[in-house]
Amino acid sequence: MKLLLLVPLLAACASAPPEAINEQSPTRIGATMSETGAYATQGIPARNGYRLCQQHVNAEGGLLGRQIEFVIHDDESDAELAPRLYERLITEEGVDAIMGPYGSTLTEAVAPVTERHRMVHISPLAATTSIWEQGRRYLFMVLPPAELFLAGLIDIADENGLRRVAILQEDQLFPRAAGAGAAELARERGLEVVLHETYPSGTEDFSELLTRIRENDVEVLGMAASALDDFIAVVHQMEEHGVNVAMFGTSGAVAEFQAALGEKAEYAYGLSAWEPSLPNPGVNEFAEAYEREFGQPPSFHAAGAYGSCQLFMEAARQAGSLDSEALRDVLLSLETQTIFGDFAVDERGYQTANQGLFVQWQDGEKVVVWPEEVATGEPRFPTPRWEER
């Protein structure tokens, strides 16, 4: 497997003398990111990942003899606005290439535009399998599949003798897939799925669902959602209603979760597609550069965007051009490792190499507890935390 080095680690992508680069206009790469709206917690660090990649690529000589410039618009977390912005980037602003937005919902909305224009679309942060089951030619997946996002929770539960599982999922594309995958895996392992419920986006009151969870003696609660606020609301309401479970896990672990909840975040689990403790090439340099530039540690969303940018640069270097067919051919056969993790896809552009990580909040820090080969700690199980009401 080839390793991509990209920080001053960015493998020099066909560098050229500075005077030659300066004489040419930059290669413009269009994208949207959710800088506002429901997905801003994830979208802002992803945007920053693109920006940091631009900085590092240019510091190492650019791409194919030209500097690069990301043209990033705020899609406002809006699945109707995002495709209009991609259409504008391609037809009016004349970008040379594109990169994907945040998340499955927006990727599904945008994919018809990028397919129609036959532009390679590396999706940094979309994971729902159905997006890759529609005969699309130019769409490439980087994350582990959504159906595996709660696999760590189920695996740990099974290994520790916990049998009664509940799954809550928001009524959106990615959460439905993640929840369904968790329920299926639980049943395959012989666990009892006592509750599997879909709730409407925008739900604020989870009391009825939590009451049913308490009454059914649920031991493991998995939750898949697009919005961080849903996870935070459920933890607060679990305390209010005295709902005690041995394991509570979410489909996304971000620092903002712990910042919002403080000690209440303790013992919670979450999927993280990436952590700075991973032994991927260039991880330390990337994490240090990101914190210097943006004043906080990178989330997996930032690393996903940066790693996806690495993939695009490597594909263009190997293809020797930005021609979509040439880029597509390279990506279909590429087996490599970025700062984000392993990359390989099947004929659909569907990820086959990345399985993700599961972390637990312990003493206010994220600790990797699954899979075993990269774990930095053991899972902790609380005694009842909340007073029964």
d(CA 160, CA 157) in angstroms, rounded, equals 5
What integer pLDDT is reported at residue 15 of this predicted model?
A: 41
Q: Where are the domains of the chain?
A: 2-144+278-343, 147-276+357-374
CA atoms within 13 Å, Cβ hemisphere of 199 = 21
Strand partners, 270: 250, 359
pLDDT of residue 13: 39
Q: Given this model, what pLDDT does residue 5 score? A: 53
Cβ contacts of 384 within 8 Å, gap of 6 or more = 244
pTM summary value: 0.83
CA distance 64 to 55: 15
**CATH dotted code for 2-144+278-343:** 3.40.50.2300
- Summarised one tens digit per residue, pLDDT across range 270-292 is 999 899 989 899 999 999 999 99
Report pLDDT for 165.
98
Nearest to residue 269, comparing CAs of 335, 325, 224, 322?
Answer: 224
Among candidates 322, 358, 355, 357, which has minimal Cα distance to 122?
322
Spatial strand order in the sheet of 269-272: 192-199, 164-170, 220-224, 247-250, 269-272, 357-362, 365-370
Residue-wise pLDDT for 223-243, tens only, equals: 999 889 999 999 999 999 999
pLDDT above 80: residue 9: no
* Domain at 147-276+357-374: CATH architecture: 3-Layer(aba) Sandwich (3.40)
Fold match, 2-144+278-343 / 147-276+357-374:
yes
For residue 176, pLDDT over 90 is answered with yes
